[in-house]
Amino acid sequence: MPRPFEDVPERFSFPENEEEVLKWWEEHDTFKESIRRSEGKPYYSFYDGPPFATGLPHYGHILAGTIKDIVCRYAHQTGHCVQRRFGWDCHGLPVEYEIDKKLNITGRDDVLKMGVDKYNAECRAIVMRYSKEWEATVKRVGRWIDFENDYKTMNITFMESVWWVFKQLHDKGLVYRGFKVMPYSCPCSTPLSNFEVQQNYKEVDDPSVVCAFPLLEGSGRAKGTALVAWTTTPWTLPSNLALCVNPEKDYVEIRDEASGTIYILMAARLAQLYPELNNEKKKKEAAKKFTELSRFKGADLKGLQYQPPFGYFESTRATGSFRVITGSFVTEESGTGIVHCAPAFGEEDYNVCMAHGVVRKGEKLVCPLDANGRFTDEVPEFQGRFVKDADKDIIKLLKEKGRVVRADPIRHSYPFCWRSDTPLIYRAVPGTFIHVEKIRDRLMANNNETYWVPSFVQEKRFHNWLESARDWAVSRNRFWGTPIPMWVSDDGEETVVIGSIAELEERTGRKITDLHREFIDDITLPSTMGKGTLKRVDEVFDCWFESGSMPYAQQHYPFENKEVFDKSFPADFIAEGIDQTRGWFYTLMVLSTALFDKPAFKNLICNGLVLAEDGQKMSKRKQNYPKPELIIDTYGADALRLYLINSPVVRAADLCFKEAGVKQNLKDIFLPWYHAYRLFVQSARTMLLQTEVAFAPQPAVALASSNTMDRWILAAANGLVAFMRTEMEAYRLYTVVPRLVDLVEQLTNWYIRMNKERFSGERGEACRKASLCTLYEVLMMLCRMMAPLTPFFCELVYRNLARASDELPESVHFMMIPEVNTAAIDEQIIADVNLMQQVIERGRTVRDRNNLSMRTPLPTATFVHSNAAALASIDKLSAYVMEELNVRSVVVRDVADVRDMVTLKCLPNHKKLGARFGPAYKGMQGKIRALTHEQLAQLLQSGSLTVDGEVFSGDDILVQMEYCGDKSEYDTDVVEGGGLLLLSTKPDEAMLAEAMAREVCAKVQKMRKEAQLRKEDELEISYSCAEGSVLAKVLKSQASYVAGRLGRNLLPASVRPQRAVTLLREEKDVRLQVLEDGKIVQKTELLTLELLRGCVFINETELAKVVPDQALREQVHNYMHCFSPEKISEKLSESPSKDQLSFVLDGQRVNLSVNAHFFLSSTDALAAGSISL
């Protein structure tokens, strides 16, 4: 049986309500119940990218989580079964870095000394450090996801599937061991992949130096001639093994006039030594600083030997070091055109030195650094020093040797480790690689099979990254991670890759209970090629390899859940930030392409970054952002969710987070929405009190309503349902969210405000029923559509509204998104109301400009347009325009008929018409300017006009309307689409009196609100002001108007019952407007207002007839005022006559008749003439 609606309080805390909803969800297990109800429905697959639990969630996590939650909730509400599992990234540098800081571990040797088992135990202990905080935050923001059935990358089942993935790649020939120059994190002692490097570039100042490399005797050059090379990494100079030139470019031999030294460098790069050559004013003087001795191709330098800056590795000269080699990678863009090559520290250096035999495969590289980037004893002057710290002293030593030609600081973009935030170096390291370049074409093809929002991230950023994808270094020289299951012979010729626990157990006869290093590092495998025993490579997987494997590993595929995997792969949807373009999105694509030649996902939403308000990165150290929990506790999670998703950040742009934006959401959206809901409930409860008929939803009544605003709001709501379904299918949240917010605003700012009298029953019961049925339908539709976005508030509203029906489920999140009712959609009425709103808004603008309050009635509003349909629209809705603009009349006029009020200004499109007519345009321009009002009106009406056989459109000739009448009488504003609004700005005295009466009514209503009174509460209102004042005259002349506005009479203090109970009494300054010499003059007068509890009004004359004794009459007064009018009504209903009250006072019976001796309200007393205003 339908139940009455619960009362809705005026004051409301959104955060407190959300906590109550959370508790209700918890008690009723609402999330799991929603999953249970969806079983058997079409499966919708979602992958959640695993975060680390070693840090607390921030706004970026909340944003991505909100997007995921919205899409998954929407999928559920459109008839899908959506399993949502949370995942945890447990391995890798983020965890190890925390332990290194805790235990003051400075290098790999410290870990080995401590023991891998103890180190990993420390890592395992902190992996889930903040998991409870994560779960609390995720739940608090309203995201529904399964934490009980989560996956962890450190679980043995997950790790086993990662092994399977790797073995599949190895069996396909996509895995190789290699020696490659890689970005390297010294504090973490491990290489990084190319996409990790992209995450943390910074602008830094580094030293740069032009170093001289003197040629050895026998070079055929003058003694002391030196090649010059430029570098921004002076620390690599001790490891120099070659100099590289471009064989095709011109080089010059010059003599520096200041020092007499002869230098060789690229002809196009002389400015590196003499920067003034780039300055036109100083160019001639700079040219005098050197003399060109000869010019030749770079190929002529090949093979020349030189003296390196340091002699640490002079012994390698015999095997080809310290010679000039050639390479096409040397350009004219920077440096001297001669590249110093340290093959251990540069990819191009390594490749060109390998090509020229300076280094050879299998031989030890010159690399005088330890695992932490410190010089070894091979460089004794700098032994034990971190390379970047040694730069300045290396330059100093070179200067002492006379090798420095120039030394300048340089500001450039340099990569930093994304975890330790320290500068990376490039160094050659052995490792395990995925041959991504082999499958590059398939990666790009599979990328084309996916759908991204926004598309430019896929088509440009991600495509460009795939287009230049490099082989992926998946090995890390670390400890806490999934060990690479590759066992290799000492000579590297025999390799075995294990793909499962069962396979390892079978090969070793040993029970495997954990796959971490401390449990398997001691395992060796017998060689099948007579090479002794095979040992596992001393590496673990890059944690990105693990997260890229999550589609398979979360299901323990292929060892379990094959059927589940088959229906969930590829994922229907994933979402993360734009920083994952070269991270998770990339690794998912690489592994799924390598395994199955298909993408791992179908649809993807990529969000931008959330920055601090000043545009800087959010920083705990700087404390430049409010903590998420503070925002949620202050404004609520719904307000935060809506703020984040109704912003450019869902289109992959950055968002500068502003607390004021969340607060504004609460004020502009949620509070009006709440009050709309509250108004409905109050109106329905009032109807029940007044008619004893409970509200019952009747969609047919709403649809059958002939009221324009009812039809409009239903059309708008159903149109939005159609729009939402289309756009959400395309994952375009950025188009859907603004439209949903707009419907809230249309409902609260227009529909509610323009229909309050209908809701209250003042326009009759039929009107009340139609309006309440309409409002109920729209509120319910709004709840169901907004439920994915603002799950808490929608739950609150829905659960109360659902009391009106026995057929509705307990939670809004069990409801489906509404179906489109095409019968309700009326595009014409939507267009009509849209135009009406524009006219009203323009009218308000004119009022503001003329300092005319909306409480002041004005004579007329005139709408001028050239389009008959637009005029008809406003004419149909003129009653609403009159009400909203507070004007006595609304007039619509065709522009052709108002020459006395409006002139048409002709503005030819000179650029377009000049190109069209050429030299003849001057003559045509004169004809255009001579067009008459009627001709221009015709152009506006028909869209075209013929002049001398030439047809002109509205694009050729722009026509503007301008008011040409008495500007002291009217002010105007342009209505979008070619209309003009003329608003009379001269109210008469009667209008000003009504404005003052409205002012008083507004103050009364404010007092009622302060006293927390309801519309149905019994109430009397009394006032007093100076006798003969403007205010006294106005309140007397406007008494009927005031009574109509307030629903009660405003009583002079002279007729106020002496024993009436005062609820609230205030003295108010009332702003008055009076006409003096035709001008409006502002004044103020004092008014005392009293709100009185409902009371009886006694007719003293009639009472004296039945109770002559004065003392007894006083007792009668006291007795009657002991009861409320409602209580007296009850007593009357219990009396035999139904209209007489009988009681005994001082032994005397008193019989009083209602509406003769007393009245239950001032309205009844006034009607009987017992009192007067």
Supply the residues annotated as catalytic: 50, 89, 544, 580, 584, 617, 620
Instruction: Report helix, strand and coil shares of the chain as percent, to nearest 5.
Output: 45, 20, 30
Per the CB < 8 A criterion, the answer to whether 792 and 670 are in contact is: no
Cα gap 669→665, rounded to integer Å: 5
Write out 546-572 in H/E/C secondary structure: HHHCHHHHCCCCCCCCHHHHHHHCCEE
Q: Angle formed by the axes of helices 989-1010 and 1039-1046, to 10°?
A: 40
642, with CB counted inside 10 A (0-12, 13-18, 19+), is: buried
- When computed from its CA atoms, the radius of gyration of the chain, rounded to whole angstroms, is 42
How many other CB atoms are there within 10 angstroms of residue 471's CB atom? 17
User: Which residues contact residue 234 at a Cβ distance below 8 angstroms, ignoring those fewer than 6 apart?
Assistant: 207, 209, 391, 394, 395, 398
- Which residue is associated with the tokens 């009190």? 689
Strands (E), 556-613: 571-577, 601-607, 610-611
Cα–Cα distance, 464 to 718 (Å, whole number): 42
Amino acid (1-letter code) at residue 1065: R
Q: What are residue 1066's phi and psi, to 5 degrees? A: -145, 145
Sheet hosting strand 175-185, strand order edge to edge: 190-191, 175-185, 425-434, 472-473
- Provide the 3-class DSSP secondary structure of residue 624: coil
Strands 226-231 and 262-266: parallel
Task: Give the chain's length.
Answer: 1173
Specify whether the CB–CB gap between 144 and 69 falls below 8 A: yes
For residue 957, what are its two tokens?
A: 């000739």
Rounded Cα distance between 1011 and 1064, Å, is: 7
CA distance linking residue 773 with residue 753, whole number of Å: 16
Q: How far apart (Å, rounded) are the C-alpha atoms in residues 647 and 1051?
A: 52
**What order do you get walking across the sheet with 404-415 strand by strand?**
290-297, 250-256, 262-266, 226-231, 201-214, 404-415
Closest CA to 617 of 577, 653, 655: 655
> How many CA atoms are closer than 13 Å to the CA of 263, on its beta-carbon side?
30
Q: Are strands 610-611 and 655-656 parallel, antiparallel or unpaired?
A: parallel
1039: Cα within 13 Å, side-chain hemisphere: 15
Strand, helix or coil for residue 356:
coil
What's the one-letter identity of residue 374?
R
C-alpha–C-alpha distance, residues 460 and 468, integer Å: 12
Whole-angstrom Cα distance, residue 1146 to residue 654?
Answer: 83
The Cα 650–Cα 656 span in angstroms is 13
Give Cα 328 to chain centroid, integer Å.
47
Tell me whether residue 210 is exposed, middle or buried, using C-beta atoms within 10 angstroms of its C-beta: 0 to 12, 13 to 18, 19 or more. Answer: buried
How many CB atoms are closer than 10 A to CB 539?
A: 24
Query: Hunting for tokens 């791992």 — which residue is that?
Result: 600
Chain CA centroid to CA 362, Å? 53
- Here the tokens at position 71 are 């899409």
Provide the Cα torsion 326, 331, 334, 340; round to 10°: -10
